[in-house]
Every structure is written in C-alpha cells, then in structure tokens.
Amino acid sequence: MARSEFEDEYDAALEGEEHKILGSALLTEEIRELEPAEPILIGPDASVLDAVKAMKDGHQGAVLVVDGGKKTGKLLGIFSERDLVTRVVGTGKDVKATKIREVMTPDPETVTADDLICIALNRMAVKGYRNIPVLDSKGQAVGIVFARHFATFVSGLFPEAVLNLPPTRELKHPEMKESG
C-alpha cells in the first residue's frame, strides 16, 4: 500500500515528539516513578536453594543479600537468575550446600528513590546489570528495580504507539482496545 507524503511527514513529526518526551522523562523523573518492587532479603549464609525458592515464591529474578538477612542489615550483594546459571549450575555447584555469599555479586551498584531514572539506566548499562537495588538515605535496601520497570515506564509514555500492532499501521487509541 502506497503511503502519502503527508503520512511520512506525520510519522517523522511523531517520532520527533516521542523522542523529546522520552528524553525529557528519563532526565527529569526519579526512580520512585518506576515503582520499585519490594526487595526479597536473605542472609549471606542462606543456601542457593533457599534463595531460588525465595525468588520463585516472590516472583522476582533476584534477591538482595543483607547482613543478617534483616531489613535493617547492610547490603552485601545481589543474587540473580544470571548468577544462578553462570556461578552455580554452570560450574556444577550443589544448590543445597553452596552459600549465597560464595556466588552473589558483591557490592552491587545502587540508587536511591531520589535518583533520576537516567542514573539507574546508565549504571545498569555500563555494568550489564538487569536489576539494581534501591537504598534509602540510611543505606538500607527498600526496593529493587528490574529491566521490566523501565519497559513499563517507557511504554506508559506512549500508550498509542504501544497499542499499535503491525502490519496495519492504524493509530489506535487506549480507549479503543480490542478484546481477545
């Protein structure tokens, strides 16, 4: 189907506006806007099996390792699905006998709820992380941000674009969602 010159100009203008909106939001919005998940906290002496069960039960891809496993403990590390694959299963370690302290990522990059979204994205991109702990002003773990938080945030900025599905290229509005 041939496109008119008007449609091409409209698409170019829309892409420019979307770029401005996204750039502005990433540079001005704080981490709290992502609605970080409640972290799953475990102690460093917990077994890998305990951590995996906690991740499964909590529907999260990572746990935060804190001194003593308590909410007021100091953040020591993070253990994620990637750590499970590369440091445990991939090396043949016993999930029941291996302690989290042996296979966690120690001293992970962190953010606070007041930090800008672009700070978290930068830290995650530079180090190749998929998750980042959120600490309060006292250094206590109060949340965790996963890659899905960013995807949800960005898609919320452009609901019409997200609802558009190829190959129709028809602009759908959020109020006009199709059922099924």
Helices (H) and strands (E) in the chain, counts: 7, 7
For the stretch 41-64, pLDDT in tens is: 999 999 999 999 999 999 999 999
Q: Which of 3-7, 28-32, 66-70, 97-101 is least confident? A: 3-7
Query: So where are the chain's domains?
Result: 32-155
pLDDT at 80: 96
Nearest to residue 145, comparing CAs of 135, 153, 159, 134?
A: 134
Can you give the pTM of this predicted structure? 0.75
Which residues does residue 132 pair with via DSSP β-bridges, in sequence order? Answer: 145
CATH class name, domain 32-155:
alpha beta
State how far the alpha carbon of 8 is from the alpha carbons of 16, 17, 89, 155, 167, in Å.
Answer: 12, 14, 51, 23, 16
Q: Is the pLDDT of residue 90 over 70?
A: yes
